[in-house]
Amino acid sequence: MRRPHYASFVAGEAPVDFFEVISENFMGVGGRPIDTLMRARAHYPLALHGVSLSVGSADGPDKQYLTLLKDLIDRVEPAIVSDHLCWTGVGGFNSHDLLPVPLTDEALDTVCRAIDIAQEHLGRRMLFENPSTYIAFPGTMPEWEFLHAMARRTGCGLLLDVNNVFVSATNHGLDPQAWLDGLPLDAVGQIHLAGHSTGEHGLIDTHDAPVDPAVWALYAQTIARTGPVATMIERDGNLPDLDVLTAELDGARILAGASELAA
């Protein structure tokens, strides 16, 4: 849910089955933002999507952050709570970017420990999104194996970003299909779709364009194997009218069948 579309969601007129917001925008706040969220929540189930849990940081999770997130969860009762397989900073520094996790045993231990802490604090299962990456630190396993082990050890689910699979695989010279085949699809609890752009150093996950046809093709293969999964199209830049986005969403509905939830 983006600001120009708030009125449609608050009125319950947006033709979606659920909506998603960035958790941090509503943590520890009052005033119009939380009022808008609650009024939209009265009409639709909600997915809280975080960007700051930083499960890959050597620092471990921020307890104040978890407390504020728990407060928000208790208030809005979301259907889904998610964040990213990433780290955002270390040693008190926060880059506010989703930085790539080295795919090593040490990092896997760190990530699993953080997810265990978070899920215990929040009292619920979380989903973690596979990131778009532009570099790959030296590692001992591919990302899909890392995600497999992460889900198995912590019981968390996967927020499968199909565009991120395409962007990361392309940037690292790998086959997106093979990447997808390796993922723990039985752990997928939500799917993201988005557009990307081409930069000097490869594909960039910009969320400022319609979903690429190649990503739609990957999505079709994914949904055929997972069955209906709540699917959302992310759009941050060049934001069109809501009816343009919901028309794009109809593409996901057609691929997934009428029983799928989509937002």
Partner 1 sequence: MPLNDLQQQFCAWLREPDEDRARVLAEALNVGPALVVYQNNYRVSLVEALRETHARVAAWLGEAAFDAAAAHQIDAHPPSSWTIDAYGTQFPEVLRSLWPDDAEIADLAMIDRAVGDAFVARDAVPIDPAALATVDWDRAVIRMVPSLRLVTITSNADALWLALASGEPAPACETGAEPATLPATLPATLPATLMVWRQGFEPVMRRADATEQLMLRRSIAGAGFAQICDEIAAECDAQAAITRAGTVLGRWLGEGLVAGLD
Smallest gap from residue 7 Cβ to partner 1 (A) = 14
Q: What is the rounded distance in angstroms from the CA atom of residue 83 to the CA atom of residue 119?
A: 12
Smallest gap from residue 218 Cβ to partner 1 (A) = 22
Sheet holding 188-194: strands in order across?
19-22, 46-49, 80-84, 127-129, 157-161, 188-194, 231-234
Question: Which SS3 state, helix, strand or coil, does residue 233 take?
Answer: strand
Candidates 204, 199, 202, 128; CA nearest to 163 is 204
Geometric angle at alpha carbon 162, from 2 and 46, rounded to 5°:
40
Of 22 and 220, which CB lies nearer to partner 1 in the complex structure?
A: 22
Of 99 and 188, which CB lies nearer to partner 1 in the complex structure?
A: 99
Of 31 and 213, which CB lies nearer to partner 1 in the complex structure?
A: 31
Smallest gap from residue 219 Cβ to partner 1 (A) = 25
Candidates 89, 102, 30; CA nearest to 57 is 89
Amino acid at 91: G
Smallest gap from residue 174 Cβ to partner 1 (A) = 14
Of 104 and 119, which CB lies nearer to partner 1 in the complex structure?
A: 104
Radius of gyration of the chain (CA): 18
Residue 30, judged by CB atoms within 10 A of its CB (0-12, 13-18, 19+), counts as: exposed
Of 61 and 189, which CB lies nearer to partner 1 in the complex structure?
A: 61
Smallest gap from residue 118 Cβ to partner 1 (A) = 13
CA dihedral angle for residue 223, residue 146, residue 96, residue 16, rounded to 10 degrees: 10
Q: What is the rounded distance in angstroms from the CA atom of residue 192 to the CA atom of residue 179?
A: 16
Are the C-beta atoms of residues 248 and 233 closer than 8 Å to each other? yes
Which residues contact residue 205 at a Cβ distance below 8 angstroms, ignoring those fewer than 6 apart? 132, 163, 164, 167, 194, 196
Smallest gap from residue 15 Cβ to partner 1 (A) = 27
Of 60 and 227, which CB lies nearer to partner 1 in the complex structure?
A: 60
Smallest gap from residue 134 Cβ to partner 1 (A) = 4
Of 32 and 259, which CB lies nearer to partner 1 in the complex structure?
A: 32
Interface ranges with partner 1 (CB under 8 A): 24-25, 27-35, 52, 57-58, 62, 64-65, 87, 89-97, 99, 102, 104, 106-107, 110, 134-138, 171, 199, 201-202, 204
